[in-house]
Amino acid sequence: MTTVYIISAPSGSGKSTLVDKAREIVSGLDFSVSYTTRPPRGNEQNGREYYFVPRSEFEEMVRKDEFLEYADVFGHCYGTAKRFLREAERSGRDLLLDIDVQGAEQIKRKLPEAVSIFIMPPDRKILESRLRKRSLDAEEVIQRRLVTASREIENYEKYDYILVNDRLDESIEALTAILLAERLKRSRIRGSADDAETLAKAEGCRLSNIRERLQPILASFATAATSGGR
């Protein structure tokens, strides 16, 4: 049975790096490359980061009901094609979806058994610093992404796991543990000591077990919103 993993995060939270590393470590894991109407950035390649398509083609896919989810973000459309789930099911592999909060809600309605993971930045200042270091966006876009991040973070309680991306190595271990722990629970086989450690590490990221750690992070975004930004 295919397990679907949903991973969401504000722009600049390091989601792509974590996903790439996890895919190197965890076998039997397919990745859904989203479709988008936005143009490529930097050295992005069609079929690697995204499938870049004209809006007319995207709208035709919507009419044909070819998407598991789709949304309009900052004036560009993004969507996850159903074919990736069909292919994962045929091959007996799990499927990882890198999608935003809007898309995650749509997937959860269609696939309530999907495992959802939200990657949280350590605080607002660090997120802003990461966005600036990318040097991809104008100041107006950076501020807009920070506002959007605040809104996305408000949805954290809808996710099964919360991963605070503070130290990269620890975050990679935590994400890997979550992916493997869900497989262990699905297999229902008595595991080894290593399996028990994996389950414990994943459980530490459960929403119910990480609430206290999240409070200062949430406060940093709330304070910025109250003061009108930086």
CATH number, position 140: 3.40.50.300
The answer to whether 161 touches 150, Cβ cutoff 8 Å, is: no
Exposed (0-12), middle (13-18) or buried (19+): which is 118, by Cβ within 10 Å?
buried
- Domain holding 100, by residue range, is 4-32+92-227
Q: What is the pLDDT of residue 224?
A: 66
Asked, for residue 153, whether it belongs to a domain, the answer is: yes
pLDDT higher than threshold 70 for residue 228? no
What's the whole-number mean pLDDT along residues 134-142?
76
Asked, for residue 16, whether it belongs to a domain, the answer is: yes
The more confident residue out of 144 and 122 is: 122
Asked, for residue 66, whether it belongs to a domain, the answer is: no
Strand blocks (E) in 129-209:
161-164
Confidence of residue 191 (pLDDT cuts 50, 70, 90): confident
The answer to whether 163 touches 171, Cβ cutoff 8 Å, is: yes
Q: What is the pLDDT of residue 200?
A: 95
- The total domain count for the chain is 1
Asked, for residue 146, whether it belongs to a domain, the answer is: yes
pLDDT higher than threshold 90 for residue 73? no
Asked, for residue 81, whether it belongs to a domain, the answer is: no
